[in-house]
Structure 1
Amino acid sequence: MLMRNLMLRLGRVLCAAALAASLGSAAHAADPVFPPGSRFGFEPPADMVLSRRFSGFERKEGGATLSIVELPANAFAELVSGFTDANLLSQGFAVEKREEVKIGDNEGMLYTGEQPADPNASAPAIRKWILVVGAPSVTGLVIAQALPDAETEATMRKMVTGVTLRPALSLTQQVDALPFRIADLAGFRPVRVLAGNSVLLTQGPKDQMQNLEQPILVLAQAVQQPPTAEQRDGFARAALASNQTLKDFVIERSQSYRSNGVDWHEIVARAIDQPTNVPVVVSQTIRFAPDGYLRALGVVREDQRTGVLAKFREVVDSVQVK
């Protein structure tokens, strides 16, 4: 199951990075640059900057990207064994070479190849590098790619294999690195930061929730083209339905509105938590911006909903995008 999820994630990352690379070498910086909240730092060429759309870097003029995904320490062995030529080719990556590398004191496996050209779409071949780094406490999955005229092979390889690993950040440091600030936690507290752009909050003493005994609220920012006003209701309903841990949605209300110059969409629905069959209430609020949106998803047991939905909203209303 872990390998299947990782391959699905790899496919999404490769597709997103390929799109970014298709949109469009210099001296390296003296010190590694760390994407916000990440333990993995890089020395990018001068024409590549931190991305606002994913954890990593992209070339200012387009044509090259590098992304980093942090996984549990035990993922290293499974990734290396599962990254067969056939599996990677199914994700659009034709491997030309694989080699063991050392990243500081940590082991690594570097895959070099390309995404073949697509004559039907007039898309050129894209050079790709995948590095899997295994450290005692974390696995790093580095995915880099470049169009032939964007960055040289030597530049990209140096950036990938020059990755630096720093000690784990505290939860406070990770929250501070988020692209938004929560001014009013309304009795909630952060438990975990995900992918550098989202945070899981809960109300109660437990960090690991079983049977949804505590309300949870996830805030996530996405930087991408937002839907038009006419598309927002369908977009919001599709986002809610994509949740794989909930089923049997019954929408109580779904509405778009404008407040303080900002466009919002809110859905409140009843559902069933699939792992436990516990009835829950789900509150999804999306705040739209010209370059993306902030999505909040709160879940509470139906027998605990009184007052909690209002607390969800207090948190969401207090969020300030940096």
Structure 2
Amino acid sequence: MKALVAAVFGFTLSIQAAFAAEPVFPPASRIGIVPPQDMVVSKRFSGFENEERAAAITFAEMPPQAYDQMVPGLTKEALKKQGLDLKTRENVKIGSKSGILIGGAMTGPVTGRKWVLVVKDADLTGLVIAQVRGGQDGYSDAQIRDALKSVALRNSVSLEEQVSALPFRINDKAGFRPVRVLAGNSVLYTDGPQDTVKAVEQPMVILASAVQSLPSVEARNQFARAALNSNQILKEVRIERSEAFRLRGQDWHEIVARAKEAESGQDIVVMQSIQFDGSRYVRMVGMSRAEQRDENLRRFRAVADGLEILSQ
């Protein structure tokens, strides 16, 4: 009888373990893992987190060719410049997929442990980054490594599902259509037949959400200008208007500027609107050819006015 009970108990545990080992996919993510105990799907980014243990695992989806571009740069010297003291590096095999897993200590302003997994599939490169800001009492190295090695990649998710999972809503699309979602927090809209837009041949709207320590009200003008000037699509940026204002109880900053498209030299007009909300912000950048200025600035304004940051 005792042997029978033990067998049933062992069988039950094996079933529970099998269910527990199923990877979990954040909304609209093609990347999933079996998360460490007490890590939950984040509402702030694509991945998992445990705020009490100061730990997070984030996902980013990239084209398949990104794997061969990234891996050669994961050297000890290059990583050291990026604030990571490399301790371990190994080739991993996850099912039929190849990957590189590295780990080390963060040496920047924020200290702790960090792991980076790059895994390659036929039509996707998955980037998984884990950070634990603390000692082994947060999560042990083994717990994190087990979670990363459980990574699974699933078939493509519809664009509609990806847009619906963004941490913000666009209530007025002003005739633009979505063409691509990136990293679970950014989306590209355009108006025209092309999904890949070159030289701003079609107007574009890019919206991106970020979670970080926000600048003071006094520093937001400088913050907004720096954000606009960091856009690699633009060169020779000449600001026409830069102002802060309040709308629907939220702080905003907006810039209208003239610029040239970096590769073609095409004259374009740019509107950047940033909505601040606590420790989050959403940045909208609308770009149009200069000859379509008046029409598209009105449309960019409508998109910004209809932007809604979703509650966490």
Q: Is the TM-score greater than 0.5?
A: yes
d(CA) in 2 for partners of 1:307, 1:278: 18
Of all paired residues, the percent bearing the same amino acid is 50
Partner of 2:65: 74
Aligned residue identity for 2:298: A
Q: Report how far residue 47 of structure 1 moved.
A: 2.6
User: Higher mean Cα deviation, 247-256 or 56-65?
Assistant: 56-65
Please show how residues 149-298 of structure 1 align to structure 2 within 5 Å.
149-298=137-286
Which shows bigger deviation, 84-93 or 214-223? 84-93
**TM-score, normalization: structure 1?**
0.83
Within 1, Cα distance between the matches of 2:225 and 2:88?
44
Task: Determine whether 1:309 maps to 2:300.
Answer: no
User: Which of 287, 291, 296 is 1:299 aligned to?
Assistant: 287
Match of 1:138 among 102, 117, 124: 124
**Equivalent pair of 1:251/1:268 in contact (CA under 8 Å):** yes
State the alpha-carbon separation in 2 of the partners of residues 258 and 96 from structure 1. Answer: 48
Using the alignment, how far apart are the partners of 2:35 and 2:221 within structure 1? 40
Residue 43 (structure 1) aligns with: 34
Structure 1 residue 48 displacement after superposition: 1.9
The alignment covers a number of residue pairs equal to: 291
1:52 deviates by 4.1
User: What's the CA shift string for 1:118-160, capped at 9, x where partnerless?
Assistant: 8xx8x76x33322221111111122223232211122111111
Partner secondary structure for residue 77 of structure 2: helix
For structure 1, list consecutive stretches of 5 or more residues without a partner in the other structure.
Answer: 1-26
- Secondary structure, aligned partner of 2:214: coil
Task: Indicate the larger mover: 70-79 or 132-141.
Answer: 70-79
Shift of 1:301: 0.7
Shift of 1:175: 0.9
> Highest Rg: 1 or 2?
2
CA RMSD of aligned residues (A): 2.2
Distance of aligned partners of 1:211 and 1:80 in 2 relative to their CA distance in 1, 3 Å threshold: closer
Bigger mean CA deviation after superposition, 84-93 or 289-298: 84-93
SS of residue paired to 2:291: helix
Deviation at 1:183, TM superposition (A): 1.9
Kept after mapping to 1: 8 A contact 2:53/2:139:
no
Q: Is the 8 A contact 2:59 2:183 kept in 1?
A: no
1:179-233 CA distances to partner (integer Å, 9 max, x unpaired)?
1122221110001111111110111121122221111011111122322222222
- Could you report, residue by residue, the CA deviation over 1:220-263 in whole angstroms, capped at 9, with x for unpaired residues? 11122322222222221221122122122222211111122222
1:29 touches 1:45 (CA, 8 Å); kept in 2?
Answer: no
